[in-house]
Amino acid sequence: LKISNPQSRDSGTYVCQVNMEPLIRQDFQLHIDGAVVDTNKSEEHLISQTFFDNSTQREVTATLGHPAYLHCRVRNLGEKTIIWLRKRDSTVLTVGILTYTV
């Protein structure tokens, strides 16, 4: 997920979700210039061989006005799709290859 020109209001929790039954998801924390956010981590579920590769950083601090990147790696995705959400308002940011700028 690329957040172009992040502002303080973009700080918070973002969710990488794999659309499968049952859903699996992983939370990421984005901090912008010291903004205070909830740092509770979500549960990770390893289900049916589709799983998150936990080698990526899940807490990111970005500079105001510079792009912020949150990397979500999923193994054995198959035909399933990944959705990125902004947790505080459940805004869908990406679906498959479609990306919405925040």
- Rounded to an integer, the average pLDDT of 43-66 is 75
Q: What's the pLDDT tens digit per position in 5-38?
A: 888 888 889 999 887 778 888 999 898 865 444 4
Provide the 3-class DSSP secondary structure of residue 3.
Answer: strand
Of all residues in the chain, what percent carry a pLDDT higher than 90? 10
Kindly report the pTM of this predicted structure: 0.56
| 43: nearest Cα among 61, 60, 22 | 22
- The answer to whether 48 and 62 have CB atoms below 8 angstroms apart is no
Res. 97 pLDDT band, cuts 50 70 90: low
What is the per-residue pLDDT across 79-88, written as a single tens digit (0 to 9) for each? 788 889 999 9
